[in-house]
Each structure stands twice: as structure tokens, then as C-alpha cells.
Amino acid sequence: MFPTHRPRRLRRTPALRRLVSETTVAPRQLVLPMFVREGATEPAPISSMPGVVQHTRDSLRKAAVEAVDAGVGGLMLFGVPAHRDAVGSGATDPDGVLNVALRDLREELGDATVLMSDCCLDEFTDHGHCGVLAPDGTVDNDATLARYGDMAVAQAESGAHLIGPSGMMDGQIGAIREALDAAGHTGAGLLAYSAKYASAFFGPFREAVDSQLKGDRRTYQQDPANAREALRETELDLAEGADLVMVKPGLPYLDVLRAVAEMSPVPVASYQVSGEYAMIEAAVANGWLDRRLTVLESLTSLRRAGADVILTYWAVDAARWLASG
């Protein structure tokens, strides 16, 4: 008695496996998130994200050019301001760190890459929340929308091709679209963080941006227990004018990514977040995982689940590995 079906036949040689491989990852699909710190004179390492730094204006320029030369598809910028206040004034100040960095990179790179900017107040507020606070201390949704609109306009004026609203306020995509259009920035696109969870995997990011947050973001980011809600959030963002939608984090939310990819008429992004980076790097540092194999497998998994675009701190390494076969 022999088995009738032998799936192993297609796995016998590297050439056979290559022929029938379903999922590819290309450097152009990868976006590198980058941090720039106001007033910095030296790049500062982020201890929980080995290999990632808070850039100076200068080192950011150099690293951005290197990333583009390596073939990555885009850059996502986060600012670390020197001063913070209750309303996050630095976010809308044309001379605020993020807007200055956008102008630097637009001048350096023109349209050679896709410049993206985080549109959220948490890096800029002294309380660390993603929006402004009402007198009772809760995050004031509608007052925050006005700030997001002004922030997005400042970013578009500074050269962002895509603006990434990540604050999970209700109506943020519609409000930002309206503000951009009213200011004449009809061509600036929106990468909507549609399904963003209140995730423990954002831990190292808080160090990366010197976050002032005490408490959590559970009144605006989604409950990790909920999948259905992600589809509703995505539908709302699409109706309000999202040009791309994103699911975040990455590997812990592959089911959500798959569901969003199945219903979305626009490209879908996935964000492999700081904690995912930290976990794999820590295991690699202990000699427990192979860096290249693990990173490429995780990127392949995100693509297989439906991501067209992946934000990953490994974008440059991965682009080089992929280019070298």
C-alpha cells in the first residue's frame, strides 16, 4: 500500500519549491519607521530596540538615503520633541521636529521615495495621550480632531506624501481629509491606522519616543479580544476617505489582517511593531533564533495573510537580504 497523494513531490528540490512558492516579499513593499530627536547632536540608541536609534537631523538624512538605496518602498517618520505641552504644540509648529525632518528629507529625496508621517499627538503632549484632554481628564475626541487637521496640514506642507493618523479618534480620517482639502492638499494621501489595538507590543516604542504616558490607551485603541470591531473601523475609514488601511500590530493579529485584506478595496498595510522587533532581537542575541530566517519568515507570514505593505524596523536589512537572494 502506497500513499495516493504525495505533497512532498513538490518539495524535493530547491527549484521545485521555488517554482510553486506562492508568496513573495519585495523590498519595495517595506517601509522603514524612523525616529528623529529635536536638538540631538549624536544618534541615541534605544536600549529595548537594539540597532534602532533616535536620529539627529543629519543622521536621519544619511540613514534615509541609505534605506532608499537599499530599495525600501517608503519611510515613516516619528518626531521626539525637546518640549511638550498639553495640546502638543510642537506637532503643528512648522519648526517642530517632525515637520523640519520632513522638509529635510523631501529636499534630499524629492519623490524618489514615499515619505510618511505619524499624525498623532502622543509624542508631543506632556501627558502622553494621543489627543487633548477634557477638563475631566478624558481624551476629548472632537477637540483632538481639530488638532489632527492642523497637524496633517503642517505635514503636507512640509512634504509628506502620505499622512498616517494613528490616534484612533472617531472621525479622524474624515476630519483630516477635509482639513487637507480645504488647505489645497488634495494630493496628500491618508494611510489610516484603521485597526489599531491597545497592545503591550508597543512597549519599546514608548522608550523610542520618550513617552510621558501614565496609564493606557484603552479608551481609544481597540480591545485585543475584538475582531469584528476592526472591520467596522476599517469600513468607517474607507467611507471617510482612507487611501490605504493598516492593521497593527503584525504577527499577533494575522487573523484581523486577513479579514481586512478580504474586504478592503484599497491597499492594506501591516505594522510589525517595536515589541515584535524586540522579541526577535532578544532571542537572536541569545543565540536562540536565526535572525535572517526568522525575520524573513515573519515578513512572508504578513504578506501571506494579506499585507500589501509592511512597516518594519528591519526594512533595510530585509531589503538587502532579499536583493542578495
* From candidates 54, 125, 274, 298, binder to ligand PBG by CB under 6 A: 274
Region from 117-125, 146-154, 225-233, 300-308 binding ligand PBG, contact rule CB under 6 A: 117-125
* From candidates 75, 91, 115, 120, binder to ligand PBG by CB under 6 A: 120
Instruction: Show the beta-strand stretches assigned E in 51-198.
Output: 53-55, 74-80, 114-119, 162-165, 189-196
Buried b vs exposed e over 121-135: b needs ≥16 C-beta within 10 Å?
Answer: bbbbbebbbbbbbee
For ligand PBG, which is the closer residue by CB, 64 or 77? 77
Whether residue 206 is annotated as binding a ligand: the answer is yes
Is there binding between residue 172 and ligand PBG (CB under 6 A)? Answer: no
Is there binding between residue 298 and ligand PBG (CB under 6 A)? Answer: no
CB atoms within 10 A of CB 87: 18
CA 251/CA 244 separation, integer angstroms: 19
**Smallest distance, ligand PBG to C-beta of residue 150, A:** 16
Q: Do 266 and 239 contact (CB within 8 A), yes or no?
A: no
Whether residue 37 is annotated as binding a ligand: the answer is no
Site string for ligand PBG, 216-245 (x = CB under 6 A): -x----------------------------
What one-letter code names the amino acid at 105?
Answer: L
Whether residue 232 is annotated as binding a ligand: the answer is no
CA 179/CA 152 separation, integer angstroms: 8
Whether residue 6 is annotated as binding a ligand: the answer is no
Q: Do 224 and 202 contact (CB within 8 A), yes or no?
A: no
For ligand PBG, which is the closer residue by CB, 70 or 151? 151
Whether residue 274 is annotated as binding a ligand: the answer is yes
Region from 98-106, 114-122, 153-161, 170-178 binding ligand PBG, contact rule CB under 6 A: 114-122
Ranges within 152-171 binding ligand PBG (CB under 6 A):
166
- Would you state the cell numbers that stand for residue 320, as one nine-digit string? 538587502
For ligand PBG, which is the closer residue by CB, 148 or 202? 202
Whether the ω angle into residue 267 lies within 30 degrees of 0, i.e. cis, is: no
Is there binding between residue 253 and ligand PBG (CB under 6 A)? Answer: no
**Smallest distance, ligand PBG to C-beta of residue 154, A:** 16
Question: H-type helices in 140-190, by residue range?
Answer: 141-157, 172-182
CA 115/CA 128 separation, integer angstroms: 25
* From candidates 38, 104, 118, 140, binder to ligand PBG by CB under 6 A: 118
Q: Do 217 and 129 contact (CB within 8 A), yes or no?
A: yes
| Residues catalogued as catalytic | 196, 248
Is there binding between residue 122 and ligand PBG (CB under 6 A)? Answer: yes
**3 state SS for 204-237:** HHHHHCCCCCCCCCCCCCECCCCCHHHHHHHHHH
Is there binding between residue 202 and ligand PBG (CB under 6 A)? Answer: yes
Which residues are at the interface with ligand PBG (CB under 6 A)? Answer: 118, 120, 122, 166, 202, 205, 217, 273-274
